[in-house]
Structure 1
Amino acid sequence: MEFDVIQGDIAAQSADALVNAANTSLRMGSGVAGALKRAAGSGIDDEAVAKGPVELGGVATTDAYQLDADYVVHAAAMPAGGQATAESIRDATRNALAEADALDCDSVVLPALGCGIAGFDFDEGVRIICEEIAAFEPDSLSEVELIAYDDDEFERMRQVAGEVRA
């Protein structure tokens, strides 16, 4: 499916669903999870943890609380205290898209799952995510955005997305 690459703070985005870069415990710490938790309010972390743990590559959905979204899909691209793998990023991306689609969402925003504190190579991880988005066949999703926080990541993400689309 088609998708866009955008730059900004995921916690400031407006979409039916926002995807959290989670670990299998679903406890929201730093990075994307920390940004979402700060903007949503503390209840989101409590709800997420109550739904965990999940399998590596698995997802759980919570309310979005104070965020401008209906849902937060917590995608576990890394084990708690561990590192992401190509397979875990692929599974987490595919499962996050499927979950948003099953919730009848029209729009979803995803970060570079597994590519921050999870330690996976950024360009390779983004390529996997872009391949999964491109291959996804939605029922309800029509707007998918992959988000980068800073200028460097945005440019690299745009380049990799362009290569996948070519």
Structure 2
Amino acid sequence: MDFRVIQGDIAAQSADVLVNAANTSLRMGSGVAGALKRAAGSGLPKEAVAKGPVDLGAVAATDAYDLDAEWVIHAAAMPAGGQATAESIREATRNTLQTADELDAESLVMPALGCGIAGFDLDDGGRIIAEEIAGFDPVSLRDVALIAYSDEDYEVLQRVAASVE
């Protein structure tokens, strides 16, 4: 499926689904999780933890609370206190897309799962995510955006996406 790369704060985006780069405990700390937690209010981290822990590569969907979305999908691309792997990023991305489709979502904004604090190289991780999105055959999902916060990360994801599409 087609997708686009955007730049900004994921917590400020409007979509049916916003994706949290989670670990298997589903405890929301810093980075993407921190931004979503601050904007959504206290209900989001409480519901997320109540749905965890999950297996590596698995996802859990919660309400989006005060975010401009219907759901947050928490994608566990890294173990709690550990590092992401190519396979965990691939599975978390695939499960995120499938779950969004099962929720009849039409739009989704996803960060580079497993990159950043999870330690996986953005170039390699972005390529895995872009390949999974490009190869996904949706039922309801129509608008998927891969989001980067910084200028540098945006440029990397733009380059990687262009090489996959």
User: TM-score of the superposition, structure 1-length normalised?
Assistant: 0.99
What aligned pairs does 1:114-125 form with structure 2 within 5 A after superposition?
114-125=114-125
Q: Report the equivalent of 2:155.
A: 155
1:36 is paired with a residue of what secondary structure?
Answer: helix
Partners of 1:124 and 1:153 lie apart in 2 by 12
User: Which residue number in structure 1 is paired with residue 137 of structure 2?
Assistant: 137
Post-superposition shift, 1:116?
A: 1.1
1:75 and 1:148 mapped to 2: Cα distance? 16
Within 5 Å, give how 1:1-166 maps onto structure 2. 1-165=1-165
> In the TM superposition, what is the alpha-carbon distance from 1:41 to its structure 2 partner?
0.5
Please give the alpha-carbon distance, in whole angstroms, between the structure 2 residues aligned to 1:144 and 1:41: 25
Q: In structure 1, what residue type is equivalent to 2:86?
A: A
Q: Quote the Cα distance in structure 2 between the aligned partners of 1:152 and 1:83.
A: 22
Residue identity opposite 2:128 in structure 1? I
Give the Cα–Cα distance (whole angstroms) in 1 for the partners of residues 134 and 20 of structure 2: 20
Matched position secondary structure for 1:117: helix
SS in 1 for 2:162: helix
Amino acid at match of 2:160: V
Q: Report the 3-state secondary structure (helix = DSSP H, G, I; strand = E; otherwise coil) of the residue aligned with 1:97.
A: helix
| In structure 2, distance between residues paired with 1:94 and 1:122 | 18
TM-score by length of 2: 0.99
| Consecutive aligned runs of 4 or more in structure 1 exceeding 3 Å deviation | none
Q: Give the count of matched residue pairs.
A: 165
Q: Note the C-alpha offset of 1:151.
A: 0.5
Structure 1 vs Structure 2: percent identity of aligned residues? 74
In the alignment, structure 2 segments of 5+ residues that lack a partner are none
In structure 1, distance between residues paired with 2:89 and 2:145: 16
Q: Cα offset for 1:53?
A: 0.4
Q: Report the Cα distance in structure 1 between the residues aligned to 2:81 and 2:152, rounded to whole angstroms.
A: 26
Q: CA deviation at 1:120?
A: 0.3
Q: CA RMSD in A?
A: 0.4
- In structure 1, how many angstroms separate the alpha carbons of the residues matched to 2:99 and 2:26? 16
